[in-house]
Amino acid sequence: MKILAQHLKSHPRFAPFLNDETIELLYKSAPLHDVGKIGIRDAILLKPGALTNDEFTIMKTHTTIGRETITRSMESLDLEKVSSFLRIGREIAWSHHEKWDGSGYPIGLKDEAIPLSGRLMAICDVYDALISKRVYKDAFSHEKAVEIIREGHGKHFDPDLVEAFLFLNRRFHEIASGS
């Protein structure tokens, strides 16, 4: 996420939001994106085949579980006003499955209504999921992952973020392969 945000900090649409401090917070908060999966049964998380509609409905709740978990932590530690790290983490956890065309979840946000943090995380999370082996699928090649993200231009993903990802895709591959 960091390289994508750094690349976009001079883009006219994103420059007002992306400075070095915010980029560092995004980078540090990104690992919280799936914290809500702690509330999802292993039988669903580790299922080797396709999820049923009911199971997918349960899986989708990880976004709201994540937001609620981080919110409760902030409140119990009285960090609501001081923790930008947790505020961004909460925003990412909640919004990283929203889609540019409004077909995502948990509430179907569309376009600019999706927080930038969630839009950035969406591309990074999808790329990672595609190139990684899971119990329910084999890993895709970097080239196939890039193709799938390209196809999500203006549908799943913010078009400007896709353009930046395409420009940086070799760097994503290097990072993912440990080069």
Selection from 152, 10, 97, 63 nearest residue 165 by Cα: 152
Cis upstream peptide for 106 (omega within 30°) = yes
Do the Cβ atoms of 124 and 30 come closer than 8 Å?
yes
Q: How far apart are CA 11 and CA 22, in angstroms?
A: 15
Helices of type H across 30-97: 42-45, 53-60, 62-76, 84-95
* Number of independent structural domains in the chain: 1
Does pLDDT of 79 surpass 80? no
Query: What value does the mean pLDDT take over residues 42-60?
Result: 94
Tell me, what's the pLDDT at 82?
57
Q: Which residues pair with 157 in a beta bridge?
A: 153
CB 88 within 8 A of CB 117: yes
Give 118-176 pLDDT, tens digit per residue. Answer: 999 999 999 999 999 988 889 999 999 999 999 999 999 999 999 999 999 999 999 99
Q: What pLDDT does residue 134 have?
A: 87
**Is it the case that residue 84 has pLDDT exceeding 80?**
yes
For residue 156, give the 3-state DSSP assignment: coil
Over residues 15-25, the mean pLDDT reads: 95
Question: Which two three-digit tokens encode residue 93?
Answer: 């956890």
pLDDT (0 to 100) of residue 74: 82
Whether 107 contacts 118, CB under 8 Å: no
Residue span of the structural domain in which 55 resides: 2-176
* CA dist., res. 104 & res. 150, Å (int): 17
Q: Quick one: what percent of the chain has pLDDT higher than 70? A: 98
- pLDDT at res. 5: 97
Q: Which of 82, 108, 77, 76 is nearest to 95 (CA)?
A: 108
Distance separating alpha carbons of residues 117 and 22, to the nearest angstrom: 10
Percent of the chain with pLDDT over 90: 85
CATH number of residue 86's parent domain:
1.10.3210.10
Q: pLDDT band at residue 81, thresholds of 50, 70 and 90?
A: low
pLDDT tens-digit profile of 91-105? 999 999 999 999 999
- Residue at token pair 């960090």: 79
Q: Which residues are bridge partners to 134 per DSSP?
A: 137
Question: Is 60 exceeded by the pLDDT of residue 113?
Answer: yes
Q: What is the pLDDT of residue 80?
A: 58
